[in-house]
Copies of this chain bind each other. A is one copy, B any other.
Amino acid sequence: VHRFFALVDNIIDGDFIRLGAEDFSHIRALRLRPSELFIVCDGEGTDYICRLGERGEDVAVIVETRRTLGEPDVDCGVYLAYAKGDRLDFAVQKSVELGAREIILFPSERCIAVPGDASKKAARFQRISLEAAKQCGRGRVPNVLTANSFEDAVNKAGRAKLPLFCYEDEKKHSLKSVLESYNGKFETVSIFTGPEGGFSPQEAKLAADSGMISVTLGARILRCETAPIAALTALMYHSNNF
């Protein structure tokens, strides 16, 4: 079933949706038969099952309204240090598939590639997020934000109820031991992962000062794009969102 996000100019009105020009032309290009169903998601967790009106207008009839199944009940921000090449593309796409609520890009001491124009980059990643959200059946399109500094990122991440700092030099606390010892619902979580060269000791200290919990992701050294998706998968698995 084809699925669209009513993000820009689709107007939901009672039992009807007036489709925006872009979605309408896309739907027309699909040559759906009048009886064929498609889904319009409002981007806030609700799916509208629709069919086209019989007169071929840009108005769709809502057949059924339901909560989007693809939305996890944990609000997890994934914090990614800038990385080279297509690693960030990949990490953003997979984070969306695996259920991140929000993705925050940040500079870090050992980053090899910090973009000159972060807002341009962010727009590109926002499009990756939208495509991934459509494809995998998310009920929301995760926002991709940029933090201006490591400090800003760590301060924001530290405000989650469970702020996880994935740190290669952490030898004691595994992600699993921390998730298992956490009493409470996994309402807000941060997963914070570093660049190719890892975090500096100073950065680890800043993270600790802002209340983050250092965790190790195990004995194997995961690449910078693998660590966030492994940690996010483990969180979703642990919290029954998988």
Whether the Cβ atoms of A137 and B221 lie closer than 8 Å is: yes
A97 contacts across to B, CB distance below 8 A: 220, 222-223, 226
> What string of 1s and 0s marks CB contacts (under 8 Å) between A182-219 and chain B?
00000000000000000000000000000000000111
Interface residues on A, range: 20 to 34
A241 contacts across to B, CB distance below 8 A: 218
A173 on the B face (CB < 8 A) = no
What separation, in Å, do the CA atoms of A242 and B218 have in the docked complex? 5
Within the complex, which residue of B69, B136, B230, B237 is in contact with A223, where a contact is CB–CB below 8 Å? B136
What separation, in Å, do the CA atoms of A221 and B98 have in the docked complex? 9
With A90-B90, A234-B234, A238-B237 given, is the CB distance from A220 to B98 under 8 Å?
yes
A107 on the B face (CB < 8 A) = no
A46 on the B face (CB < 8 A) = no
A155 contacts across to B, CB distance below 8 A: none
With A94-B226, A174-B242, A176-B242 given, is the CB distance from A136 to B220 under 8 Å?
yes
What separation, in Å, do the CA atoms of A226 and B233 have in the docked complex? 10
With A218-B241, A242-B217, A242-B234 given, is the CB distance from A135 to B70 under 8 Å?
no
A94 contacts across to B, CB distance below 8 A: 226
With A237-B237, A242-B217 given, is the CB distance from A226 to B98 under 8 Å?
yes
A-B contact pairs, 17 of them (CB 8 A): A94-B226, A97-B223, A98-B220, A98-B226, A136-B221, A136-B222, A137-B219, A138-B220, A174-B242, A175-B242, A176-B242, A218-B236, A218-B242, A229-B233, A230-B233, A233-B237, A237-B238
